[in-house]
Chains A and B, each alone.
Chain A
Amino acid sequence: QQKVQQSPESLIVPEGGMASLNCTSSDRNVDYFWWYRQHSGKSPKMLMSIFSNGEKEEGRFTVHLNKASLHTSLHIRDSQPSDSALYLCAANNITGNTGKLIFGLGTTLQVQP
Protein backbone atom coordinates (compact mmCIF):
# COMPACT_ATOMS: atom_id res chain seq x y z
CA GLN A 1 0.00 0.00 0.00
CA GLN A 2 1.25 3.45 -0.91
CA LYS A 3 2.28 5.48 2.15
CA VAL A 4 1.40 8.65 0.26
CA GLN A 5 -1.99 8.50 -1.40
CA GLN A 6 -3.20 11.02 -3.94
CA SER A 7 -6.63 11.73 -5.37
CA PRO A 8 -8.05 11.96 -7.87
CA GLU A 9 -5.94 9.88 -10.24
CA SER A 10 -6.83 12.21 -13.06
CA LEU A 11 -8.60 15.51 -13.39
CA ILE A 12 -9.88 17.56 -16.30
CA VAL A 13 -10.61 21.26 -15.82
CA PRO A 14 -11.45 23.98 -18.32
CA GLU A 15 -9.00 26.76 -18.99
CA GLY A 16 -9.48 29.43 -16.33
CA GLY A 17 -10.98 26.96 -13.89
CA MET A 18 -9.85 25.77 -10.46
CA ALA A 19 -8.01 22.47 -10.01
CA SER A 20 -7.94 20.85 -6.57
CA LEU A 21 -5.61 17.95 -5.81
CA ASN A 22 -5.44 15.94 -2.60
CA CYS A 23 -2.75 14.01 -0.76
CA THR A 24 -2.62 12.08 2.52
CA SER A 25 0.23 10.31 4.26
CA SER A 26 -0.31 7.15 6.29
CA ASP A 27 3.14 7.53 7.89
CA ARG A 28 2.72 9.53 11.10
CA ASN A 29 6.46 10.27 11.21
CA VAL A 30 6.35 12.69 8.30
CA ASP A 31 6.30 16.41 8.96
CA TYR A 32 7.12 18.01 5.60
CA PHE A 33 5.08 17.88 2.41
CA TRP A 34 6.09 18.68 -1.12
CA TRP A 35 4.36 19.13 -4.46
CA TYR A 36 6.29 18.41 -7.63
CA ARG A 37 5.10 18.87 -11.20
CA GLN A 38 6.20 16.66 -14.06
CA HIS A 39 5.39 17.60 -17.64
CA SER A 40 5.24 14.77 -20.15
CA GLY A 41 8.71 13.53 -21.04
CA LYS A 42 10.38 15.77 -18.48
CA SER A 43 11.72 15.31 -14.97
CA PRO A 44 9.82 16.35 -11.80
CA LYS A 45 10.32 19.92 -10.61
CA MET A 46 9.43 21.22 -7.17
CA LEU A 47 6.39 23.50 -7.07
CA MET A 48 5.78 24.17 -3.40
CA SER A 49 6.51 22.79 0.03
CA ILE A 50 4.76 23.19 3.37
CA PHE A 51 5.39 22.09 6.95
CA SER A 52 3.17 24.39 9.03
CA ASN A 53 -0.56 24.06 9.53
CA GLY A 54 -2.53 26.39 7.34
CA GLU A 55 -2.00 27.61 3.83
CA LYS A 56 0.71 29.02 1.64
CA GLU A 57 0.12 30.92 -1.58
CA GLU A 58 2.47 31.52 -4.49
CA GLY A 59 0.85 33.17 -7.47
CA ARG A 60 -1.94 30.96 -8.80
CA PHE A 61 -0.94 28.07 -6.54
CA THR A 62 -2.15 27.54 -2.97
CA VAL A 63 -1.18 24.68 -0.68
CA HIS A 64 -3.04 23.69 2.47
CA LEU A 65 -1.79 21.43 5.25
CA ASN A 66 -3.60 19.79 8.15
CA LYS A 67 -0.89 18.18 10.26
CA ALA A 68 -3.33 16.34 12.50
CA SER A 69 -4.75 14.41 9.56
CA LEU A 70 -1.50 14.49 7.52
CA HIS A 71 -3.52 15.84 4.62
CA THR A 72 -2.34 18.38 2.10
CA SER A 73 -4.05 19.84 -0.93
CA LEU A 74 -2.91 21.86 -3.90
CA HIS A 75 -5.23 24.34 -5.58
CA ILE A 76 -4.51 25.93 -8.93
CA ARG A 77 -6.69 28.87 -9.84
CA ASP A 78 -7.08 30.26 -13.35
CA SER A 79 -5.70 26.98 -14.74
CA GLN A 80 -3.76 27.23 -17.99
CA PRO A 81 -3.11 24.57 -20.65
CA SER A 82 0.56 24.75 -19.63
CA ASP A 83 -0.49 23.46 -16.18
CA SER A 84 -1.36 20.11 -17.80
CA ALA A 85 1.06 17.68 -16.15
CA LEU A 86 1.48 14.94 -13.55
CA TYR A 87 1.37 16.39 -10.04
CA LEU A 88 3.30 14.42 -7.46
CA CYS A 89 2.89 14.75 -3.73
CA ALA A 90 5.77 13.70 -1.47
CA ALA A 91 6.53 13.63 2.24
CA ASN A 92 9.53 13.22 4.51
CA ASN A 93 10.63 13.55 8.12
CA ILE A 94 12.64 16.73 8.61
CA THR A 95 12.80 16.48 12.39
CA GLY A 96 14.49 13.11 12.06
CA ASN A 97 16.70 14.51 9.30
CA THR A 98 15.40 11.89 6.90
CA GLY A 99 16.19 13.20 3.48
CA LYS A 100 14.39 10.64 1.36
CA LEU A 101 11.08 11.70 -0.11
CA ILE A 102 8.29 9.17 -0.51
CA PHE A 103 6.11 10.02 -3.47
CA GLY A 104 2.49 9.27 -4.25
CA LEU A 105 1.39 7.92 -7.63
CA GLY A 106 0.33 11.36 -8.74
CA THR A 107 -2.65 13.16 -10.22
CA THR A 108 -2.70 13.75 -13.95
CA LEU A 109 -4.17 17.17 -14.66
CA GLN A 110 -5.47 18.11 -18.08
CA VAL A 111 -6.51 21.69 -18.70
CA GLN A 112 -8.75 21.99 -21.74
CA PRO A 113 -8.58 25.20 -23.80
Chain B
Amino acid sequence: NAGVIQTPRHKVTGKGQEATLWCEPISGHSAVFWYRQTIVQGLEFLTYFRNQAPIDDSGMPKERFSAQMPNQSHSTLKIQSTQPQDSAVYLCASSFRQSNERLFFGHGTKLSVL
Protein backbone atom coordinates (compact mmCIF):
# COMPACT_ATOMS: atom_id res chain seq x y z
CA ASN B 1 0.00 0.00 0.00
CA ALA B 2 1.71 3.16 -1.24
CA GLY B 3 -0.50 5.46 0.77
CA VAL B 4 -2.03 8.64 -0.63
CA ILE B 5 0.05 9.85 -3.55
CA GLN B 6 0.27 13.53 -4.43
CA THR B 7 2.00 15.03 -7.42
CA PRO B 8 3.93 17.14 -7.92
CA ARG B 9 5.77 17.48 -4.58
CA HIS B 10 6.72 21.05 -5.39
CA LYS B 11 5.26 23.51 -7.86
CA VAL B 12 6.40 27.03 -8.60
CA THR B 13 4.13 29.29 -10.63
CA GLY B 14 4.15 32.92 -11.63
CA LYS B 15 1.38 35.20 -10.48
CA GLY B 16 -1.65 34.76 -12.74
CA GLN B 17 -0.73 31.28 -13.94
CA GLU B 18 -2.76 28.13 -13.44
CA ALA B 19 -1.78 25.29 -11.13
CA THR B 20 -3.20 21.77 -11.13
CA LEU B 21 -2.52 19.45 -8.22
CA TRP B 22 -3.11 15.70 -8.36
CA CYS B 23 -4.08 13.17 -5.73
CA GLU B 24 -4.39 9.40 -5.84
CA PRO B 25 -6.23 8.11 -2.75
CA ILE B 26 -5.60 4.78 -1.10
CA SER B 27 -7.28 2.01 -3.06
CA GLY B 28 -10.65 1.15 -1.56
CA HIS B 29 -11.06 4.46 0.23
CA SER B 30 -14.29 6.19 -0.68
CA ALA B 31 -13.73 9.65 0.82
CA VAL B 32 -11.17 12.16 -0.46
CA PHE B 33 -10.37 15.45 1.22
CA TRP B 34 -8.35 18.51 0.25
CA TYR B 35 -6.74 20.75 2.89
CA ARG B 36 -4.36 23.70 2.71
CA GLN B 37 -1.71 24.29 5.36
CA THR B 38 0.08 27.53 6.17
CA ILE B 39 1.85 28.75 9.28
CA VAL B 40 -0.69 31.51 9.85
CA GLN B 41 -3.98 29.74 9.02
CA GLY B 42 -3.00 26.21 10.00
CA LEU B 43 -4.70 23.25 8.34
CA GLU B 44 -7.72 24.60 6.49
CA PHE B 45 -10.45 22.41 5.04
CA LEU B 46 -11.15 23.07 1.37
CA THR B 47 -13.43 20.36 -0.01
CA TYR B 48 -14.29 16.67 0.06
CA PHE B 49 -15.78 13.91 -2.05
CA ARG B 50 -17.47 10.68 -1.12
CA ASN B 51 -17.83 7.97 -3.75
CA GLN B 52 -16.61 10.58 -6.25
CA ALA B 53 -19.52 12.93 -5.52
CA PRO B 54 -18.74 16.41 -4.15
CA ILE B 55 -20.14 16.61 -0.61
CA ASP B 56 -18.86 19.83 0.89
CA ASP B 57 -16.85 22.60 -0.77
CA SER B 58 -17.46 25.20 1.89
CA GLY B 59 -13.75 25.91 2.31
CA MET B 60 -13.01 26.59 -1.33
CA PRO B 61 -12.35 30.14 -2.50
CA LYS B 62 -15.07 30.08 -5.13
CA GLU B 63 -13.66 32.34 -7.82
CA ARG B 64 -10.43 30.60 -8.68
CA PHE B 65 -10.43 27.18 -7.03
CA SER B 66 -12.10 24.06 -8.36
CA ALA B 67 -11.82 20.37 -7.54
CA GLN B 68 -12.88 17.29 -9.39
CA MET B 69 -12.89 13.56 -8.90
CA PRO B 70 -13.45 12.00 -12.33
CA ASN B 71 -12.86 8.45 -11.09
CA GLN B 72 -12.22 6.64 -7.83
CA SER B 73 -8.47 6.62 -8.33
CA HIS B 74 -7.72 10.30 -8.61
CA SER B 75 -8.79 13.81 -7.72
CA THR B 76 -7.50 17.17 -8.94
CA LEU B 77 -7.42 20.61 -7.40
CA LYS B 78 -7.11 23.42 -9.91
CA ILE B 79 -6.20 27.00 -9.04
CA GLN B 80 -6.67 29.57 -11.77
CA SER B 81 -4.86 32.89 -11.86
CA THR B 82 -2.68 31.99 -8.87
CA GLN B 83 -1.87 34.71 -6.36
CA PRO B 84 1.00 34.92 -3.83
CA GLN B 85 -1.50 34.27 -1.00
CA ASP B 86 -2.23 30.86 -2.55
CA SER B 87 1.28 29.76 -1.56
CA ALA B 88 0.83 26.87 0.86
CA VAL B 89 1.19 23.13 1.25
CA TYR B 90 -1.87 21.46 -0.25
CA LEU B 91 -2.66 18.18 1.43
CA CYS B 92 -4.90 15.45 0.10
CA ALA B 93 -6.29 12.81 2.45
CA SER B 94 -8.50 9.76 2.10
CA SER B 95 -10.53 7.64 4.47
CA PHE B 96 -12.20 4.28 4.14
CA ARG B 97 -15.89 4.92 4.31
CA GLN B 98 -17.55 6.17 7.47
CA SER B 99 -17.17 9.56 9.12
CA ASN B 100 -15.48 7.99 12.12
CA GLU B 101 -12.62 6.60 10.05
CA ARG B 102 -9.22 8.24 10.34
CA LEU B 103 -7.80 10.37 7.54
CA PHE B 104 -4.62 9.24 5.80
CA PHE B 105 -2.72 12.20 4.41
CA GLY B 106 -0.43 12.38 1.42
CA HIS B 107 2.94 14.15 1.60
CA GLY B 108 1.43 17.28 0.12
CA THR B 109 2.21 19.59 -2.76
CA LYS B 110 4.11 22.72 -1.83
CA LEU B 111 2.86 25.51 -4.06
CA SER B 112 4.95 28.66 -4.36
CA VAL B 113 3.48 31.58 -6.30
CA LEU B 114 6.10 34.17 -7.20
What residues of chain A lie closer than 8 Å to B35, measured between beta carbons? 103
What residues of chain A lie closer than 8 Å to B99, measured between beta carbons? 32, 92-94, 97-99
Q: Mark A72-113, 1 if CB is under 8 A from B, else 0.
A: 000000000000000010001110011111111110000000
What residues of chain A lie closer than 8 Å to B31, measured between beta carbons? 99
B105 and A45 contacting across the interface, CB-CB below 8 Å = yes
Knowing A43-B91, A49-B100, A51-B100 are in contact, say whether A101-B105 is a contact too (CB < 8 A): no
Knowing A43-B91, A44-B105 are in contact, say whether A100-B33 is a contact too (CB < 8 A): yes
What residues of chain B lie closer than 8 Å to A106, measured between beta carbons? 42-43
Q: How large is the interface on A (under 10, 10 to 19, 20 to 34, 35 or more residues)?
A: 20 to 34
A46 is an interface residue with CB less than 8 A from chain B: yes
A19–B50 alpha-carbon span in the complex (Å):
36
Q: Which residues of B are at the interface with A, using a C-beta cutoff of 8 A?
A: 31, 33, 35, 42-45, 48, 50, 55-56, 91, 95, 98-100, 102-103, 105-108
